């Protein structure tokens, strides 16, 4: 598994349909890719796209946590 920014493929299914471990693993790949791309000078557009995808994952994880504690 590589975390190169260009190779972080979106999951086959929508975020809400992923198992918890799949969502966790996707989040880790995105976070690693963001860290790697942050070391490059010309990576702002790539980083912005990755961060948007990460925000979606975090929102899904927050929703699941909120539902679990209701």
Tokens representing 52? Answer: 């948007």
The 10 Å Cβ neighbour count of residue 57 is 20
**Residue 39's pLDDT is what?**
82
pTM of the model: 0.83
**Residue 6's pLDDT is what?**
60
pLDDT digits (tens, 9 = 90+) for 10-61: 999 999 999 999 999 999 999 999 999 888 766 778 889 999 999 999 999 9
Question: 3-class SS at 51?
Answer: helix
Per-residue pLDDT for 68 more than 80? yes
Per-residue pLDDT for 7 more than 90? no
């Amino acid at each position: 598994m590589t975390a190169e920014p260009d190779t972080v493929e979106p999951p086959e299914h929508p975020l809400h349909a992923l198992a918890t471990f799949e969502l966790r693993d996707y989040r880790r790949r995105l976070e690693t890719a963001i860290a790697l791309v942050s070391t490059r000078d010309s990576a702002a557009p790539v980083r912005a796209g990755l961060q948007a995808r990460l925000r979606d994952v975090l929102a899904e994880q927050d929703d699941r946590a909120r539902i679990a504690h209701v």
